[in-house]
Structure 1
Amino acid sequence: MKFQRFIQKYQTQITLISAILIVLGFAGKYLFNSMVIYNWAFILASIIAAVPIMIHAYQALRVKVVSIELLVSIAVIGAFIIGEYNESAIVTFLFLFGSYLEERTLSKTRQSIKSLTQMAPATAVLLNTDGSQEEVDIDDVDEGDHVLVKTGASVPVDGKVVSGSGYLDESVITGESKAVAKTKGDDVFSGSILGNGTLTVEATKVGEDTTFGKIIELVEDAQDAKSPAESFIDKFAQYYTPAVLIIAVLVYLFTRDFPTAITVLVLGCPGALVIGAPVSNVAGIGNGAKRGILLKGGAVMDDFAKVDTFVFDKTGTLTLGNTAVSAVKSYVDDEATALTLVARAERLSDHPLGKAITDYVSQQHLNYEQLNVTDNSTVKGQGLTANISNHDVLVGNLKLMSANHVSLTTAQQQDLQAVQQTGSSVVMVAVDGQLALILGVSDTIRPGIKAQLQALRDHGAKHLVMLTGDNQITAQYVASQIGIDEVHAELLPEEKVDYIKQFKDQGRHVAFVGDGINDSPAIATAQIGIAMGSGTDVAIETSDVVLMQSSFEALVHAYSLSKKTVLNTKENIFIAIAVVVFLLIGLIAGFIYMASGMFVHEASILVVIFNAMRLIGYGKLPTTKQPKNSQQTSGNLI
């Protein structure tokens, strides 16, 4: 056991010694004309390099697996029997050197995944009840504890800011590099780095339960989740490797050509075929991880690449899920005064539409707080009336205007219908008996979403569908603005599931994109469930793909990445099979021998690894940040 550990620990040095002995052997023959140096150098090189190979072969046999190492071991013994020491030395060296290069290159494909675990905080500064500070191991922090985060430090827990302010780099969670301002009451995620300021955070989730902990767990699990191609290759290799051994025996029995039979063992090693699919999936998953995209394994990658129908929830997915003023029709000379009056009136109400209006007026830098309210009343189902700074103000719907004898001109009626046709909620404002404003209030369409939906089509999406609980007029308007093909409105959650089942029955491969909370039944029903949003347990656990920054740019990248990864896997399988065919033809034609065959074999392994590594840098890192509220966006409104 100790000997095995010693050999494994120093396998790189063994490879180097083998290479030096091979060089010494060639020098003995061609520089010193000494066959003794030539033969003994290759014998020693063969023995030294064969030891780790044979140990691996023995360990595999103990668990009843006929491994590639066994084929090479038998080939080396056969080469010794026929006196081809140079062949055995070169074959064993190339095998070990190939393993070394394979390990080095594979480690690069896993680098973005390893970097996640390295970013996980190990300690936390705990604030005790007496105000003292104590640095403790992260495992000793409990929910409800208060931890201090200083400039440059990593947030050790998921929690809420209870005091302080600063800017956090949340790229480890969302893939978005732009710093996010945090102040009292804001949520923070473990693994985020505080660029400046000081925060005191109350822990709500700790350890593996944090969002960051779940991301690491998911990405690590994803590496072990096999795609259909990987599963097929694993089964294929179980039968293929013993079959090569049997074929080599049959070649010897029919030809009595021992060197050719031994060469068949070397050429038949399925190394590139076995490694081709896993390395592509690891590289693809790593690419997504560093962009805040969680793809749960090779099987998800394979299914996602087949998607031809994207089904979207509207609110919070196609739109930002908040209300804002989308239209302002003015019929007075002093629009600013009318806006301040309606904003002051809406301060008397807690209606969501009122908040959207006061936010809009504040953005216009209009001050309405100093206006004096002497009388006000709420009219149920119509709106409110108020006397503000000696002006009679009506704020409400058409019924309120009619009840107070405020008439509309033909042009004003046309404006009212135009705003209603967009699906917006309408707020009418009258000042001193005359209609002053018609305001449209609606949800905010995600900026740039039309172009991103077209990008999905460009990558192979054939059907874009909206399923929403909102009214038909609003849904149709959103669809017409962004290019949705099919709209079904006023649906309950179970009715959304029914539509997805219908699409699947029609032979479509469906991906449902929602917020991962209200839409979890639909996410679970579709072949691929995609959650737009970070930090929610349901989003992470229910869906197959999680877009941590709720970005359609990330959705397009994830879709194209899945297709690119599946294509890359197929390329690697083709390369592996083509190499085997080439080697067999070369063996029959007489221009491929044991050493040269092993060289081509090891080279093919590196080719598929380097081909897969192209996935690590695939696509551009996202540069745009999706706004979180209407104050931050200039996008379309509905």
Structure 2
Amino acid sequence: MRFIIKHEIKGRIRVHAVQRKMTMQEADILCYYLEQTPGVTKVKVYEQTGDATVEYQGGREEILDRFRAFSYDVSVPDSVLESSGRALNAEYKEKLIYSVTRRAVMKWLVPCSITNVITTVKSVKYLAAGIRCLAKGKLEVPVLDATAIGVSVLRRDFGTAGSVMFLLGIGEILEEWTHKKSVGDLVRSMSLNITKVWLKTEDGKEVLVDAETIRQGDQIVVHMGNQIPFDGVVVSGEAMVNQASLTGEPLPVQKNAEKYVYAGTVLEEGELVIRVAAQSGATRYEKIVTMIEESEKMKSAIESKASHLADRLVPYTFLGTGLVWLFTRNVTKTLSVLMVDFSCALNLAMPVTVLSAMRESSDHHITVKGGKYLEALSEAKTIVFDKTGTLTKAQPVFREVIPFGGKDEEEMLRIAACLEEHFPHSMAKAVVQAAKDRNLTHEEMHSKVDYIVAHGIASHIGEKKVVLGSYHFVFEDEQCVLPENEQERFDQISAECSRLYLAIDHQLAAVLCIEDPIRPEAAEAIQKLHEAGFEKIVMMTGDSEHTAKAVAKAVGVDAYYSEVLPEDKAAFVQKEKEAGNKVVMIGDGINDSPALSASDVGIAISDGAEIAREIADITIAADDLMELVQLKKLSNSMMKRINRNYRLIVAINGSLIGLGVAGVIQPATSALLHNTSTLMIGLESMRNLLPEE
């Protein structure tokens, strides 16, 4: 790619692509390409000017080399282009420009006689909406709009009627754009992000391959706790699948041979072999859009309250209009009341504020599935953390394998990796990565793998049973024993590491030691969460008392619980809720799912288990817990803006009514000021809630 550097400072560069014209699709391709560059933190591509701005950490030359190597032929997932918001923004920008331009032309260039006729014709739409509302026995906002416009037209005050309709139209465009943009941002952040899948070969083996290589008709294997990557038909196996993201069903449904499964749903129990029917799972995009637009999740309690309050205020506006007419017999003063109502601003500002907060959260790599969760987060005083992969790093570090019973160290690691690669837990990933780093190949040597939540894995190699997991699972549940004369060696294993125990044929074969380093930002994040409003911060983990105590002390939580099971976490959350507290739960594993479901706000780490992300109400980036602090601040700021908007709407509209009744301003001025203030409050509500850092 040929380019010119237009401007640069340390960590930020703006270049201009030397080409005739950049299309929206080309802009999306370039943006995606640059975002995949290591060290790049933010990318913006402007198709109108052909410019690209890149913020980065690290070397400048690497970024320039990336530009030099760029070609529009690079491979980009279809979903990136299909769900781009670029065309949407351009469409609504054109709508706004057209509306304002048409209004100016009508006002300054078209004769009054013609504009009066056009205004009268346009008013029919609003009058019809008001009549339909009355026909349903409702006295709501459309009736008020129809009355204000209709009375103005009857009084031949076409200027006022035209201004009211123009500002209502602008408000509708802005609300529609904000809503669609927020939904689009949510959809993109909720889109599938699966890079590897298990392909079943013709000889029956399972091979881990790139998702992009899968073609229609291929057979893939999906294990428990994983997301189904493609639409398809079940060939064999039986499983319970959570389809809540597409259908809203709260309970998992059974899937077996010949049943259809959908991309993005999560396999909770069992295992399935699926024949791929749709490569990209593109239908998921439309399904998520439909789910979000129709789901009550989109509405926070205060958003719904604003909408209902707006409709309930309409009769009082009519009552006020009637009283002014009764006492003054002055049409001008009466119309001044009719031209001002509280409902327009309430109906516009509150939903826009909530949707804007959801949009802004996506800028911080946070996915929020509904406005009500932000509201609940602002009210919550208790937050519960899982330890592994949450307060500790999402990628635990493998330290060593200690063999027992004369077993070979590398062979034990190979077996452990072979078992663990089927399950998406952070400790499992550490074991698999350790085997990869040592160039240990581990072809499938075992039978079907059974995963016991919060305990471990069981399978068979030949005739011998193999188990891998916690001390409780291996030694107490499975009744495995130590080899003779190895107790002392076993007791000398460092207590600083987390441990996985591997037993073969009911005898301990190896202990895998895994370091679980605390996130460097964890202590600061806990402190900031206290400052942001949380009063009780709790850590719960299935790890040992020794490990849990050390982590709890290091990060500064108020309380901790060790060696807990998934049902214990959920029970604690339920107990807090029964005490009248709103509870936030944050975790990353399959074992956190019950607690995530039970909490008022469930937050999952983005690279955790798919089922945890599916069940969670909010997902945050895995690389920085400070995003959680930003989320709390965002929810607090959203509620402050909503409350401020309430006060502002009451003050402005109350003042306008008072000035109108006093005869200080005319109805046309009253309507103009009312609609202008409504529009300004709506535009203000679209602004980011958090200051740019």
The aligned amino acid for 2:676 is A
Instruction: Quickly say closer, same or farther: Cα 1:107–1:249, change in 2 above 3 A.
Output: closer
Shift, 1:579, TM fit: 1.5
Unaligned runs of 5+ in 1: 1-9, 26-36, 122-126, 131-140, 147-154, 160-188, 192-200, 329-338, 366-379, 386-395, 402-415, 428-437, 621-638
Instruction: Quickly say closer, same or farther: Cα 1:571–1:223, change in 2 above 3 A.
Output: farther
Instruction: Quickly say closer, same or farther: Cα 1:231–1:57, change in 2 above 3 A.
Output: same
The aligned amino acid for 1:233 is A
Greater RCO, 1 or 2 (C-alpha within 8 Å, sep 6+): 1
- Between the aligned partners of 1:616 and 1:320, the Cα distance in structure 2 is 29
SS at match of 2:557: coil
The aligned amino acid for 1:346 is E
Is 1:313 the counterpart of 2:386? The answer is yes
Instruction: Quickly say closer, same or farther: Cα 1:504–1:51, change in 2 above 3 A.
Output: closer
Of residues 557, 560, 563 in structure 2, which corresponds to 1:484?
A: 557
Unaligned runs of 5+ in 2: 1-94, 193-198, 203-214, 221-227, 233-261, 265-273, 419-427, 440-479, 502-510
Is 1:603 the counterpart of 2:688? The answer is no
Counterpart of 1:23? 108
* 1:383-394 correspondence runs (5 A): none
- Between the aligned partners of 1:504 and 1:158, the Cα distance in structure 2 is 38
CA contact (8 A) 2:310 2:344 kept: no
The aligned amino acid for 2:357 is G
Of residues 92, 95, 102 in structure 1, which corresponds to 2:161?
A: 92
CA contact (8 A) 2:498 2:543 kept: no
Shift, 1:543, TM fit: 2.6
- Between the aligned partners of 1:210 and 1:558, the Cα distance in structure 2 is 30
Counterpart of 1:33? none
Is 1:590 the counterpart of 2:675? The answer is no
Counterpart of 1:277? 350
The aligned amino acid for 1:347 is E
Shift, 1:473, TM fit: 0.5
Alpha-carbon deviations, 1:490-539, whole Å to 9, x = none? 22222223322333344432111122622222222222222224586633
Counterpart of 1:349? 412
- Between the aligned partners of 2:433 and 2:380, the Cα distance in structure 1 is 41
Shift, 1:477, TM fit: 1.0
- Between the aligned partners of 2:163 and 2:655, the Cα distance in structure 1 is 19
| Amino-acid identity (%) | 25
Greater radius of gyration (CA): 1
Of residues 562, 578, 581 in structure 1, which corresponds to 2:635?
A: 562
- Between the aligned partners of 1:558 and 1:503, the Cα distance in structure 2 is 22
Is 1:398 the counterpart of 2:488? The answer is yes
Counterpart of 2:371? 298
Q: TM-score, normalised by structure 1?
A: 0.61
Instruction: Quickly say closer, same or farther: Cα 1:455–1:144, change in 2 above 3 A.
Output: farther
- Between the aligned partners of 2:332 and 2:352, the Cα distance in structure 1 is 34
Q: CA RMSD in A?
A: 4.9
SS at match of 2:516: strand
Is 1:63 the counterpart of 2:136? The answer is yes
Of residues 100, 111, 117 in structure 1, which corresponds to 2:181?
A: 111
Counterpart of 1:249? 322
Q: TM-score, normalised by structure 2?
A: 0.57
* 1:18-417 correspondence runs (5 A): 19-23=104-108, 40=113, 43-44=116-117, 46-79=119-152, 85=156, 88-109=157-178, 110-114=180-184, 144=218, 157=230, 203=276, 216=289, 219-221=292-294, 225-268=298-341, 270-289=343-362, 291-320=364-393, 324=397, 346-350=409-413, 398-399=488-489
- Between the aligned partners of 1:503 and 1:254, the Cα distance in structure 2 is 56
Alpha-carbon deviations, 1:460-510, whole Å to 9, x = none? 222221112211101111112222221111222222233223333444321
CA contact (8 A) 1:221 1:296 kept: no
- Between the aligned partners of 2:353 and 2:665, the Cα distance in structure 1 is 29
- Between the aligned partners of 1:319 and 1:218, the Cα distance in structure 2 is 34
Counterpart of 2:590? 517
Instruction: Quickly say closer, same or farther: Cα 1:220–1:535, change in 2 above 3 A.
Output: farther
The aligned amino acid for 1:349 is M
Shift, 1:272, TM fit: 0.4
Paired residues in the alignment total 473
The aligned amino acid for 1:239 is R
Counterpart of 1:498? 571
SS at match of 1:66: coil
Counterpart of 2:13? none
